[in-house]
Amino acid sequence: MASDGARKQFWKRSNSKVPGSIQHVYGAQHPPFDPLLHGTLLRSTPKVPTTPAKAKRVSTFQEFESNTSDAWDAGEDDDELLAMAAENLNTEVVMETAHRVLRNHSQRQGQPTLQEVPATKQEPKPMAEPPVAEPSAAPSGDLRLVKSVSESHTSCSTESTSDAIPLQRSQSLPHSATVALGGTSDPSTLGSSALSKRESSRLDKFKQLLAGPNTDLEELRKLSWSGVPKPVRPITWKLLSGYLPANVDRRPATLQRKQKEYFAFIKHYYDSRNDEAHQDTYRQIHIDIPRMSPEALILQPKVTEIFERILFIWAIRHPASGYVQGINDLVTPFFVVFICEYLEVENVDTVDVSSVPSEVLRNIEADTYWCMSKLLDGIQDNYTFAQPGIQMKVKMLEELVSRIDEQVHRHLELHEVRYLQFAFRWMNNLLMREVPLRCTIRLWDTYQSEPEGFSHFHLYVCAAFLMRWRKEILEERDFQELLLFLQNLPTAHWDDEDVSLLLAEAYRLKFAFADAPNHYKK
């Protein structure tokens, strides 16, 4: 066992700095005050000691420990530290710095602070150029931000006050605030600028992908899941629906052949609409079209004729289901997307086709028919006799909701609200009667990107859609009020952001439940 002398020798402090050596930490005590660390507070010339300084003896750790008072003990440590600081301070530098701080404060007094500018919506005063902090303005070898006015003056005493303060403020401000000082103070302008830049970047990705000789449909689906930019939406939908081939060289011939084929159907079948075998079908179509939305589009005579032809030809060529109410709504998104390729419209609900040439309208009609047919091929059991596809999906929705949120499920059961009473229309019309047309178009961007999007993924969208109104559903305590709410949900103000959140939640539910069928079983 080592002797006491050896232990003391071991704990002696060494003046030599060894790489990787550990420095002592003294717990909850005042850190030793070292005036050398505060170089800006020293006099410009070293102070000559009045009394000869004694040689500082190296102390051991035990001696330091015995001579150090705990921080919680009352003592005169603070007074000694202050006295030491006062002894090493340059009074002239301190007074000069204090006067500058007071002078700068008085100059800035009366001007609105940074926090007040966005609150009062005031425009900033015009400036010759924004205060930008250049790297060369900082002292050499020290790239730290200036923390206080006094430090900025003492460390850069050669700079003038008017130059130092803007630099210090511009360095300390966040980037967005610095931009606001030099230019616009409207955050919405900055947000829209960033948004347009992001949209432009996405559009470039789509154009680059579509420009190749053979479009990678899998990559196109990945890009389209988060929404398709308006300029490339028509061609993207035609590709994703399987209407157009991936090979660019084959597309013109395919379009020409399919359009010719569609108008051959019209020539062959459309005159039979008044025959006894088909007049009931045509009459029902003729009744349902004026009930569709948006009225501003549907009630245009040219549009009404186009929709009647599309729906009648499809019903004649698909006798297993024929025409069923709900199919008529599925024509609108395709028609609007394809016609917006030739029209500059901001609001899809107010599309006017009067200025579109007849030949263009004919091609749009054919494209709409074939794309709608591709969609219905995947969900045709929704419209066969007794609509078994819808019955099954509503049942699956009920079981899924009972697993996701049993409280909502029990609440609906308690008030005797059946899922068929509100969810049948969700499945039959693919939520088109529940959300605005602009939201349906955004929704279908993702549906066409998902495998079995209209048949399988739609179930999880409906579940997420119901959960979106959880709070309002639980607040209703009456059968009639609850059912009226579920049949008239307040979505008129919805936009792409609301749809994106809905789709994200639907994807989360799909990820959790799609590969776990036992979750459906009780």
Core vs surface per residue 82-108: b (16+ CB within 10 A) or e: eeeeeeeebeebeeebeebeeebeeee
pLDDT tens digit string along 242-251? 999 999 999 9
Rounded-to-integer distance, Cα 500 and Cα 510, Å: 15
- Yes or no: say if 326 and 320 are a contact pair by the CB < 8 Å rule: no
CA dihedral 222, 228, 233, 236 (to 10 degrees): 0
Q: What are phi and psi of 247, to 5 degrees?
A: -75, 125
Please say if the pLDDT value at position 117 is more than 50. no
pLDDT tens digit string along 71-87? 444 444 555 555 555 55
Taking all residues of the chain, what is their mean pLDDT, rounded to a whole number?
76
pLDDT tens digit string along 144-176? 333 333 344 444 444 444 444 333 333 333 333
Core vs surface per residue 222-233: b (16+ CB within 10 A) or e: ebbbebbbeebb
pLDDT tens digit string along 460-514? 999 999 999 999 999 999 999 999 999 999 999 999 999 999 999 999 999 988 8
Please say if the pLDDT value at position 276 is more than 80. yes
For residue 98, what pLDDT band results from cuts at 50, 70 and 90? confident
pLDDT tens digit string along 1-59? 455 555 555 444 444 444 444 444 444 444 444 545 444 444 444 544 545 544 545 55
The arithmetic mean of pLDDT across residues 124-133, rounded, is 41
